[in-house]
């Protein structure tokens, strides 16, 4: 690909940051609060806008309901607009009410299922208000012990709830269905793998698509294969990027295995899916438990951008010829040649050309923003996973 | 379930043993030959017949082409009949020809793909000759290095080959598609998981169904969930039973995790799929590298039978009521109560009632069969994975 | 082993329950509170005493500092005694103070290390007051990102802190060192595996011993091997029993893989380590996030007891002869014969002989205890991991 | 580190290639032979010499006994010398004789153990003849089924055999003990993890040291932690480099996770262990099943060299300051900055400065060596794992 086309690809790239990554988070052992953490959705949006201003490729912010509920959606929407960002996907939460101890839409009790499904429908209302196109569904539903509930009946209940929400979607709205191997359910989750999400989406229809959260797989899973396969089936709707060494660690994207991130982005490029017009939403879903929030999100956005630049650098003619001729080492070398290239100078130049600071993280530290929010955001309750 | 219905269920159970499990096998480090190992398909069938005579529930034997090629299929078929067994699924082999180093039906070279697909079509010819209903497809196809080949193009090639074979199937013939996470491919296999196999089968049509090999999953995969899900989708066609602690260890079924085997069989019972009329083929696929072949296969068949008996013992009224009321511990206890029951006396009685020895393994050792084959099968070349 | 010796072994068995398992717990997503949960260490001890009264083999309760801090240890000790239980191991907590965000005894800042070590020394003071023999150390210390801290320097700091605490131990006091693969640290933990704990204990001296938490291993780890190996080295000090399908799920012992629990208990029996005189502390360490606390702990104690009964049932003469002669299948069968036996009738009889209800869980439900604590424990703050 | 010191470090680096990596290898499914493969140890040494001539850092070649047995060791030694390489570690093989089906030095039968130990002693004789300093021990010993043999007795037998061989070592000879999680044993291996190898080496004495094979761990194991820990204990003796996605895949080093290889080499540099004087033997242990042998070994050597160059590039002052101040992101960035650097131009320059071709793989392809060996090595039997 010519450098111009590479730069065009990079300029078109869009990454969505999640409102909750700006808030406090932790493990079951401890949440360590940090200074300057937002206390409401407006402050989260303000932080997201900083990330966009510095990187130029993070123009939207995902919301999580009810954590980000506000009285006046128009006000939040306009506030975002003023900050030059927009509200992105609506993430439903059916895992924190006492009623959901044994499940939400798959719960054996129809009353609980009704309540959960109603929340999902409410989220579509929010979408109407915010202009968001996507409802993103992750279910903590599952069981901790063999026999605890009937796995197959839970699928029936899941299908029923999804169908009801699907019918409620507007013409240009989508349902994005996430899967996860385990946690918080420890024996069986109701949507454990991409196959399950895919089968449900297929039955629902074209507006239902699969979300790949890069931290939600069994050890050894080849994620880029799933990317390639779902692109072929036209059923990949979104990513939740993060990285992991063990489980759903929710570390910064690209931090644990930058080569894997590159391979994923290569499949995206190869499948023609990098362009926003293709329709994939590239989100982060991370927890910055011990590191500073905004710089960690900047780092994650840049890591994805660097992986993308390397993916765009792959000489696909050379690669294709080596593949076709069965030259294993030459084909591998064609890929590695791109990965081993240091793309940071090119990206710095790209930013400079676009009037941005070539080093977004250094610019952030120089900006005084952190000192300002640390000083200003002192009263009230810091946002976290619980609020 | 009443004891009578449990016994009826157990009497109807059918397990297919694989011809190659009677032959020599090993690891990449060493194949340890054993005395008495068959030298041709007839001797393999003879051994399989011993297993059926002693257990009463192993009436068919899977063949592997070309390992089990014979000049005259009628002769083998009649020989099996004389021994009171029948020929079962035909397992294709497109992984041992020099041409298949970089793949068979997914190979970049159309010549190799043609050759591989032709072999699959030949296998359907064999089915016509043997009366086998199922062609079972496992592909070693995959790549060892990132970039080695284009993963998505390989899916296109796979789909094309499968479609051609599917069209060749007779009215009551089926295609059974197996998946496997890794080995011998070490970076990406072309059918790595049930989702991939499911998607292909769905596109092929009703005669294509998924095979679950219990040793082919990533660590932590909940196999009984896949069983339940595929039953719900009506796409589960067969099992390859074996057990594993780490990878595709191919140990005796039930040896590594008897509780998992029980949970799998419970989902089969719960889904009404134990009865042969449902159409699932329950096969073994094992390697007895260091233990005596026939007793190991007997042990495996008995392990599955014991797990099935326990699954049938589950009091589903008690279980269902506990599940419905959200009583986690009572529901789990209902399942465990069956698992903790010692079903061996009941099964011994069942065998005695049917005129069999209550202890098939002891009967085998008393029979002198092993001494006989060890003495008789001395010339020629012992069968193994290569022949 | 004769039935009398089996029963003697079972009567001598001792399992320690953890105070925190009676309290509220959950995942990072949500803690679901339960009715009747204790509000202070006295109520925890009272619940533990119920478990002991019903099972007869749970005479001690582990404490966690600071969660179980009381003003007057003599009062708690005497209260326990009145309830016929005793206070067991003291579990230190150096992971919930703001200062410990980047580590406790391995923190780069010597001030934080001092504070953490002082807490450990305080725990030895508590041991003097409670009469506890063991300080049990689990460190959440580790790093989330490559480069975050110097792994080797952290070992130096760890060794220094352990040595200081070791020197403070009284003549019959022990230090029990736990290891854990990951969580809450997601890149590297400072004591990730038994080898690390073993090496430190060896350098510290005979009073330092390793704790095996059954949920703290990488997938595929053979835990009974570690048991056998540490017994051979005389360095196994304690267990934290629980079960897991994926990570540190902290489910009820024996719930996920009862065969594994049996194999572990077999190595204990084989190593002569079941007798309390041997010195191993058999504890539970579990989280009953969605199931009723006391019945779940009863279930766990009974699961361990059942596994132990099966382990004692192994005919070691038969097993040893088969092993010595290289008869793989006979040796495996000797072990499986014991595992497949239903030991529940024998255990019910044992309880009846000792004047207990043969079914402890049914007896608990009949006792009205849960209704009583649910009604009584209404004011105040329920205990949890945070208090 | 100054560029001069970096270059000095790189010039001093030594990587040992294994004779068997030049020979045919495969999986249990199939060995695909390749043209030009050596037929005897002389031809293997010749190939290894090519790798050294082109890279300048692979001056020794590991031998495997009995695969590399020759009548006249002096002749092989002199042949190597003529080719400017030397004979390296002696790798014992006690896994391919019929007698070793159930183990070698841990076998229940003392006759088999004697035979196996005698082979190990013979290997020390070979060392005396070849001038090799290291005997490298990997045992396939283990069990496939629970109960198959007594795990603890096997440790006693292992310890006894190791002690006998240790006593036989000359003054400057070492015993290098390898561990492996599984394969070919599928239930329990007798040296499954570094802790086991470490404990044995500690009891044996200072001449016994641990080998880390990078493909021999459970999923999720942090290998660089083990490196750092063993360096601290002065018990790391050697590496077997290769890479894996799943199990012991034996792919080219650096192919699966280049970031992990970098982290490992960073711990080596940080521990001062890169210099040959430190005493660590850096070997490859790989199987080039589908790719050309010599270029794959060149690629592996270069991958390790590139990872080492990046490790040397880490600005340890910046890193240390960030670590000490608890700046998680700055510390991580200091490490990543080195990893993200493209070191290939510097390495090409280094080679040019030393009078070598800047691109060893291109030079190999231009050299005509492959065409020559393909033409010349036509009669006889190609070397493989069996011969």
Instruction: Establish if C386 belongs to a structural domain.
Output: no
D2 CA to chain B: closest CA distance, Å?
34
Mean pLDDT, residues A303-322 taken together: 98
Point out the residue among A140, A146, A289 whose CB comes nearest to the CB of C29: A140
Find all residues with CB under 8 Å of B332, minimum gap 6, and list them: A145, A146, A147, A148, C255
Torsion sign across C-alpha atoms C204, C209, C213, C217: positive
Residue B1 — very low, low, confident or very high, per pLDDT cuts 50/70/90? confident
User: Of C220, D75, D286, A375, which is closest to residue B256 (Cα–Cα)?
Assistant: C220
pLDDT, tens digit, for every residue of B111-162? 999 999 999 999 999 999 999 999 999 999 999 999 999 999 999 999 999 9
Helices vs. strands in chain D: H and E counts, helices first: 14, 10
CB contact under 8 A, B249 and D140: no
Six token digits for residue A133: 């196109």
Mean pLDDT, residues B332-353 taken together: 98
Contacts of A341 in chain D (CB under 8 A): 342
pLDDT at C297: 98
CA distance B221 to A329: 33
CA distance A342 to D340: 6
Say which CATH number the domain at A267 has.
Answer: 3.20.20.150
CA distance A332 to A323: 9
A251 SS3 class: strand
A102 in contact with chain B, both atoms CB, cutoff 8 A = yes
pLDDT, tens digit, for every residue of A114-139? 999 999 999 999 999 999 999 999 99
Instruction: Establish if A387 belongs to a structural domain.
Output: no
* Position C338 pLDDT exceeds 90: yes
CB contact under 8 A, A221 and B219: no
Find all residues with CB under 8 Å of A328, minimum gap 6, and list them: B102, B144, B145, B148, D290, D291, D292
Cα angle D250, D256, D260 (rounded to 5 degrees) comes to 105
* Position B192 pLDDT exceeds 60: yes
Supply the DSSP symbol for B99: G
Residue A1 — very low, low, confident or very high, per pLDDT cuts 50/70/90? confident
- Taking the CA of residue D293 as centre, how many other CA atoms within 13 Å lie in the half-sphere pointing to its CB? 29
| ipTM reported for the complex surpasses 0.95 | yes
- Among left, alpha and beta (phi > 0; psi -120 to 50; other), residue B341 is beta
* Position D266 pLDDT exceeds 60: yes
Helices A360-367 and A369-376 cross at an angle (nearest 10°) of 50
Cα angle D47, D50, D51 (rounded to 5 degrees) comes to 95
On whether the CB atoms of residues D45 and D85 are closer than 8 A, the answer is yes
Mean pLDDT, residues A306-315 taken together: 98
Total domains in chain B come to: 1
- Which helix (DSSP H) or strand (DSSP E) does residue D283 occupy? strand D281-284
- State how far the alpha carbon of A24 is from the alpha carbons of A44, A211, A296, B315, C182, in Å: 11, 24, 13, 47, 21
Instruction: Establish if C387 belongs to a structural domain.
Output: no
CA distance C361 to C296: 9
Find all residues with CB under 8 Å of D236, minimum gap 6, and list them: D209, D210, D212, D227, D230, D273, D280
Helices D344-353 and D3-12 cross at an angle (nearest 10°) of 70
A194 in contact with chain B, both atoms CB, cutoff 8 A = yes
Residue C1 — very low, low, confident or very high, per pLDDT cuts 50/70/90? confident
pLDDT at B386: 74
Q: D327: nearest CA in chain C?
A: C148
Instruction: Establish if D383 belongs to a structural domain.
Output: no
B261 SS3 class: helix
pLDDT, tens digit, for every residue of C78-110? 999 999 999 999 999 999 999 999 999 999 999
Query: Before A66, cis peptide (omega within 30)?
Result: yes
User: Of B212, B270, B208, B276, which is closest to residue B241 (Cα–Cα)?
Assistant: B212
Residue D195 — very low, low, confident or very high, per pLDDT cuts 50/70/90? very high
User: Of B130, B136, B386, B173, which is closest to residue B285 (Cα–Cα)?
Assistant: B136
User: Of D48, D15, D29, D32, which is closest to residue D384 (Cα–Cα)?
Assistant: D32
D29 in contact with chain A, both atoms CB, cutoff 8 A = no
CB contact under 8 A, A246 and C291: no
D5 CA to chain B: closest CA distance, Å?
34
On whether the CB atoms of residues C319 and C334 are closer than 8 A, the answer is yes
Task: Please tell me which chains touch D, using 3 or more CB pairs under 8 Å as the contact test.
Answer: A, B, C
CA distance C178 to C140: 10
CB contact under 8 A, D331 and C149: yes
Residue A358 — very low, low, confident or very high, per pLDDT cuts 50/70/90? very high
Instruction: Establish if C382 belongs to a structural domain.
Output: no
Domain that holds residue D192: 3-376
* Position B387 pLDDT exceeds 60: no
Count how many residues are written for chain B: 387
* Position D386 pLDDT exceeds 80: no
CB contact under 8 A, B152 and A229: yes
Instruction: Establish if D386 belongs to a structural domain.
Output: no
B87 SS3 class: strand
Cα angle A315, B156, B176 (rounded to 5 degrees) comes to 140
Find all residues with CB under 8 Å of C101, minimum gap 6, and list them: A32, A290
* Position A387 pLDDT exceeds 70: no
On whether the CB atoms of residues C275 and C5 are closer than 8 A, the answer is no
What percent of chain A is modeled with pLDDT above 90? Answer: 98
Find all residues with CB under 8 Å of A161, minimum gap 6, and list them: A105, A106, A113, A116, A117, A120
Instruction: Establish if C312 belongs to a structural domain.
Output: yes
Task: Please tell me which chains touch A, using 3 or more CB pairs under 8 Å as the contact test.
Answer: B, C, D
Find all residues with CB under 8 Å of D185, minimum gap 6, and list them: D140, D141, D142, D143, D144
Q: Taking the mean position of all CA atoms in its chain, how far away is CA B130?
A: 18
D301 in contact with chain B, both atoms CB, cutoff 8 A = no
- Name beta bridge partners: B188: B143
CA distance D322 to B149: 42
CB contact under 8 A, C222 and D150: no
C142 SS3 class: strand
D144 in contact with chain B, both atoms CB, cutoff 8 A = yes
CA distance B67 to B74: 17
Helices D151-168 and C258-270 cross at an angle (nearest 10°) of 60
Residue B345 — very low, low, confident or very high, per pLDDT cuts 50/70/90? very high
Find all residues with CB under 8 Å of D358, minimum gap 6, and list them: D348, D349, D351, D352
- Which helix (DSSP H) or strand (DSSP E) does residue C29 occupy? none
- Which helix (DSSP H) or strand (DSSP E) does residue A41 occupy? helix A41-55
Rg (CA), chain C: 21
pTM above 0.90, yes or no: yes
CB pairs under 8 A between A and B: 157
B257 in contact with chain A, both atoms CB, cutoff 8 A = no
Contacts of C27 in chain A (CB under 8 A): 28, 183-184
pLDDT, tens digit, for every residue of B4-42? 999 999 999 999 999 999 999 999 999 999 999 999 999
* Position D387 pLDDT exceeds 70: no
Mean pLDDT, residues A45-72 taken together: 97
3-state helix, strand, coil in chain D (%, to 5): 50, 15, 40
Q: Indicate the average pLDDT of chain D.
A: 97
* Position B339 pLDDT exceeds 80: yes
pLDDT at B165: 98
Supply the DSSP symbol for D96: S
Mean pLDDT, residues C30-54 taken together: 97
Q: How is A224-273 classified by DSSP, letter by letter?
A: HHHHHHHHHHT-EEEEEE-B-SSSS--B-TTSS-HHHHHHHHHHHHHTT-
Point out the residue among A182, A195, A323 whose CB comes nearest to the CB of B194: A195
Instruction: Establish if D385 belongs to a structural domain.
Output: no
pLDDT at A96: 94
- Which helix (DSSP H) or strand (DSSP E) does residue B39 occupy? none
Six token digits for residue D259: 């970031």
CA distance B17 to D63: 42
Q: How far apart are the first and last CA of chain A?
A: 46
Residue D326 — very low, low, confident or very high, per pLDDT cuts 50/70/90? very high
Q: Which residue has the tokens 């360096």?
A: D231
CB pairs under 8 A between B and D: 105
CA distance A20 to A89: 13
On whether the CB atoms of residues C191 and D195 are closer than 8 A, the answer is no
Q: B195: nearest CA in chain A?
A: A195
């Amino acid at each position: 690909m010519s450098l111009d086309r590479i730069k065009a690809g990079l300029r078109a790239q869009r990454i969505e940051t999640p409102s909750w990554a700006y808030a406090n988070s932790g493990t079951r052992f401890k949440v360590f609060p940090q200074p300057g953490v937002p206390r409401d959705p407006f402050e989260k949006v303000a932080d997201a806008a900083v990330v966009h201003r510095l990187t130029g490729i993070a123009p939207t912010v995902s919301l999580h309901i009810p954590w980000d509920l506000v009285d006046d959606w128009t006000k939040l929407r306009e506030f975002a607009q003023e900050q030059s960002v927009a509200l992105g996907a609506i993430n439903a939460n059916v895992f924190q009410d006492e009623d959901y101890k044994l499940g939400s839409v798959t719960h054996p009790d129809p009353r609980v299922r009704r309540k959960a499904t109603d929340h999902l429908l409410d989220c579509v209302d929010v979408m109407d208000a915010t202009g968001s196109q996507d409802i993103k569904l992750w279910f903590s539903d599952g069981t901790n012990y063999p026999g605890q509930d009937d796995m197959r009946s839970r699928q029936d209940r899941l299908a029923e709830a999804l169908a009801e929400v699907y019918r409620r979607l507007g013409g240009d709205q989508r349902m994005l269905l996430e899967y996860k191997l385990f946690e918080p359910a420890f024996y069986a989750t109701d949507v454990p793998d991409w196959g399950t999400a895919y089968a449900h989406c297929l039955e629902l229809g074209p507006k239902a698509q699969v979300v790949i959260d890069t931290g939600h797989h069994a050890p050894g899973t080849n994620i880029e294969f799933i990317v390639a396969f779902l692109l072929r089936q036209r059923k990949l709707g979104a990513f939740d990027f993060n990285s992991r060494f063990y489980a759903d660690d929710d570390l910064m994207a690209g931090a644990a295995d930058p080569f894997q991130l590159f391979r994923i982005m290569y499949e995206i490029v190869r499948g023609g899916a990098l362009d926003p017009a293709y329709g994939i939403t590239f989100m982060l879903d991370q927890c910055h438990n011990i590191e500073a929030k905004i710089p960690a999100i900047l780092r994650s956005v840049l890591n994805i951008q660097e992986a993308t630049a390397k993916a765009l650098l792959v000489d696909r003619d050379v690669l294709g010829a080596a593949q076709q001729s069965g030259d294993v080492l030459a084909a591998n070398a064609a890929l590695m040649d791109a990965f081993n290239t240091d793309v940071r100078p090119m990206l710095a130049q790209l930013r400079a050309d676009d009037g941005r600071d070539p080093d977004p993280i250094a610019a952030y530290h120089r900006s005084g923003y952190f000192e300002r929010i640390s000083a200003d955001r002192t009263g009230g309750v810091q946002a976290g996973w619980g609020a």
